[in-house]
Amino acid sequence: MDNTVEEKLPFTSHLEELRKRLIYSLIAVGVCFLICFVFKEWLFRILAFPLVAVLPENSSMIFTSLPEAFFTYLKISFFGSLFLSSPIVLYQIWRFISPGLYSSEKKYAFPFVFFSTIFFVGGSLFAYFVVFPFGFKFFVSFATESIKPMFTLREFLSFSCKLLLAFGVIFELPIFMFFLARIGLVNSSILAAKRKYAILITFVVAALFTPPDIVTQVLMAIPIMLLYEISIWVAKLGEKKENKDTT
């Protein structure tokens, strides 16, 4: 099998290829947005279910400006389109970087798209089914007879989408480390040696992407640390494949 990289393309060709991949990605997101907008109310009910389940009786969400509800539906449709179009967008990313890969590495196109999608969606589902119930219950627990929780649509959507996206991206860590190991930028020994720094960075990242409470920060930090350990094993697997290909 030919293990040489294809001839280098001129810079203008790279820009043209980038433009084409961006257009395909935007078309995919746009079509998925229209589909999601048709089911906007159903999507919102699903997203809000963990919060509604822990709200006290006679509590509800509100909107404080005339266009807020409309823009909430637009945002949730766009957010849903990112999930629905993620396999196509990830494939376009692969098509853009594939000319710079060896011929033996291009066979990873399908595994890259498949596992990237699975990990991204899996991270968001973890946030929805594990983090949301604990986080919402913690915040609502401060309600009293004189303090009634009434969340605005804008605040709820911002909070929820930020966590879902953060967990989705963070769960991509093993995939990211595998390909870094394949191209020789990292290896399992380096990752294992830097474990204590990774733990520190983990809690910093968790503090940045979660509200200022210890519950949701720990719920984000623990999966990141587990994913880092998985990444060490995955990087080692990438090194073995690289050594086999070189031989």
Rounded CA-CA distance 215/211 in Å is: 9
pLDDT digits (tens, 9 = 90+) for 3-55: 444 445 555 666 788 888 899 999 999 999 999 999 999 999 999 999 888 88
3-state secondary structure of 62: strand
CA distance 34 to 77: 8
Instruction: Work out the mean pLDDT of the chain and round it to a whole number.
Output: 80
Rounded to whole angstroms, the Cα distance separating 72 from 63 reads 9
Show the tokens assigned to 229: 């350990």
Look-up of token digits 């979660």: 210
Return d(Cα 199, Cα 188) in angstroms, integer: 16
Percent of the chain with pLDDT over 90: 15
Flag whether pLDDT at 102 surpasses 70: no
Lowest mean pLDDT among 112-126, 133-147, 229-243: 229-243
Average pLDDT score over residue span 87-115:
76
Q: How far apart are the C-alpha atoms of 128 and 123, rounded to whole Å?
A: 9
pLDDT at 108 over 80: no
pLDDT value of residue 150: 80
Here the tokens at position 5 are 């990289």
Q: Tell me: pLDDT of 122 over 80.
A: yes
Q: How many CA atoms lie within 13 A of 102 on its CB side?
A: 12
In angstroms, the CA 202 to CA 228 distance is 9
Higher pLDDT, 37 or 184: 37
Written as six digits, the tokens of 65 are 């400006």
- From the list 228, 174, 183, the residue with the least C-alpha distance to 205 is 228
- Mean pLDDT over 82-100 rounds to 82
Which pLDDT value is given to residue 195? 81
Distance, in Å, from the CA atom of 156 to the CA atom of 146, rounded to the nearest integer, reads 22
Taking a C-beta distance cutoff of 8 angstroms, is the pair 56, 140 a contact? yes
CB 215 within 8 A of CB 158: no
Rounded CA-CA distance 77/41 in Å is 9
pLDDT of 216 higher than 50: yes
In contact, 143 and 202? CB cutoff 8 Å: no
How many degrees, rounded to 5, is the angle at CA 23 between CA 17 and CA 24? 90
Q: Check: pTM over 0.85? Answer yes or no.
A: no
